């Protein structure tokens, strides 16, 4: 996997990495976690080189891989105690940091980790990666396969941890989650296309965007794509989003009129909208 990019993540930031499957997110995390040695380039964590000072980095790093990887044949409590002892720490010393997360797991303390529900497994994994009070936390797609309320809780937990001064790097494939990050980097096939705060990314979107609907959404998509002046068209929830080409005479009103008069659509609605993070992402790497 080739990764291309050059950026710095400030201390105490909640930093999101967005990209589709296969973009290189996990590879990046494995490099940051000192599991993978890059052939070229340098990476430093807390000012330490990941190749030379990997041993020191491992003491300040919390890593939660995308795949559940705790001991499923040990109980919840045993897992927590084991991972604390691996870092030479005591569960009690660091209980404060995980209290908000662990309180939900306490009723299941004696249960084997393998028998927990998906959301609970995720909470336990987070606890285990936090138990040694790391200064940098790496979370590889922590919300994949987790129900919406658990997802929200996780992000609230992350925000609390950030407020305590921890640097957190999260990868996700969900755009709505990226909004919660202080800064996001967008990745596509190993390239970092953009790294800025979500509001900067959105306000930097320099194109005219409109949402379109009609009674026949399927034909609408095809028709919109054949229209002159429409640069790009993609489905977005229950509407289609179109981007009008730069320097075209086309306006939202004209699109609506043409859809009715030329293509015979009924119930047409065309509205100019502000770009969301997902719109920005969809239009990355075009120019």
Closest CA to 38 of 28, 46, 48: 28
46 or 78: CB nearest other proteins:
78
Q: Is the Cβ of residue 58 or residue 152 nearer to other proteins in the bound state?
A: 58
219: tokens are 């034909």
- Characterize the bridge pairing of strands 48-49 and 167-172: unpaired
Of 82 and 174, which has the nearer Cβ to other proteins?
82
Q: Tell me the CA distances in angstroms from 66 to 26, 140, 156, 184, one per residue in order.
A: 8, 5, 19, 19
**Least distance from other proteins to the Cβ atom of residue 35, Å:** 6
Largest CA distance in the chain: 73
| 204-217 burial code (b ≥16 CB/10 A, e <16) | ebeebbbbbebeee
User: Minimum Å distance from CB 216 to other proteins?
Assistant: 48
C-alpha–C-alpha distance, residues 133 and 190, integer Å: 30
CB 277 within 8 A of CB 198: yes
Six-digit token pair at 94?
């660091």
Nearest approach in angstroms of CB 73 to other proteins is 5
Least Å distance between CB 41 and other proteins? Answer: 16
Q: Which two tokens stand for residue 200?
A: 């900067």
- Residues of this chain that interact with other proteins (CB under 8 A) are 33-37, 54-55, 58-59, 61, 63, 65, 67-74, 78, 82-83, 85-88, 112, 128
In the block, tokens 């659509």 appear at 265
Select 86 or 260, whichever has its Cβ closest to other proteins: 86
Residue closer to other proteins, measured from CB, 70 or 154: 70
Q: Cβ closer to other proteins: 36 or 221?
A: 36
54 or 174: whose CB is closer to other proteins?
A: 54
89 Cβ contact list (under 8 Å, min separation 6): 131, 132, 133
The pairs formed by 220-224 with CB atoms below 8 angstroms and a separation of 24 or more are 220/259, 220/265, 223/259, 223/263, 223/265, 224/255, 224/259
CB of 37 to other proteins, least distance (A): 5
In the complex, least distance from residue 285 CB atom to other proteins, rounded to whole angstroms: 29
- Smallest distance from the beta carbon of 146 to other proteins, in angstroms? 17
Which H helix or E strand runs over 239? strand 239-244
- CB 59 to other proteins: min, Å: 5
Closer Cβ to other proteins, 85 or 199, answer by number: 85
């Amino acid at each position: 996997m080739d990764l291309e990019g050059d950026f710095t993540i400030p201390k105490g930031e909640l930093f999101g990495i967005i990209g589709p499957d296969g973009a290189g997110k996990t590879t990046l995390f494995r490099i940051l976690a000192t599991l993978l040695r890059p052939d070229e380039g340098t990476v430093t964590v807390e000012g330490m080189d990941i190749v030379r000072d990997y041993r020191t980095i491992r003491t300040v790093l919390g890593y939660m891989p995308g795949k559940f990887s705790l001991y499923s044949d040990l109980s919840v409590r045993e897992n927590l105690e084991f991972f604390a002892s691996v870092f030479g720490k005591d569960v009690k010393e660091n209980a404060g940091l995980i209290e908000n997360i662990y309180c939900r797991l306490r009723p299941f303390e004696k249960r084997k980790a393998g028998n927990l529900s998906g959301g609970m497994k995720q909470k336990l994994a987070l606890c285990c990666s936090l138990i040694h009070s790391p200064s940098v936390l790496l979370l590889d797609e922590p919300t994949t396969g987790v129900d919406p309320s658990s997802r929200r809780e996780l992000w609230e937990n992350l925000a609390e941890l950030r407020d305590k001064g921890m640097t957190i790097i999260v990868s996700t494939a969900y755009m709505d989650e990226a909004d919660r990050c202080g800064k996001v980097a967008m990745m596509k096939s190993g390239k970092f296309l953009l790294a800025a705060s979500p509001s900067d990314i959105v306000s930097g979107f320099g194109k005219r965007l409109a949402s379109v609907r009609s009674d026949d959404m399927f034909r609408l998509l095809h028709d919109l794509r054949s229209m002159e002046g429409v640069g790009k068209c993609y489905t977005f929830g229950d509407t289609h989003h179109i981007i009008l080409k730069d320097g075209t005479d086309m306006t939202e009103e004209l699109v609506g009129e043409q859809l009715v008069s030329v293509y015979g659509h009924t119930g047409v609605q065309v509205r100019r909208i502000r770009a969301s993070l997902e719109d920005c992402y969809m239009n990355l790497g075009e120019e």
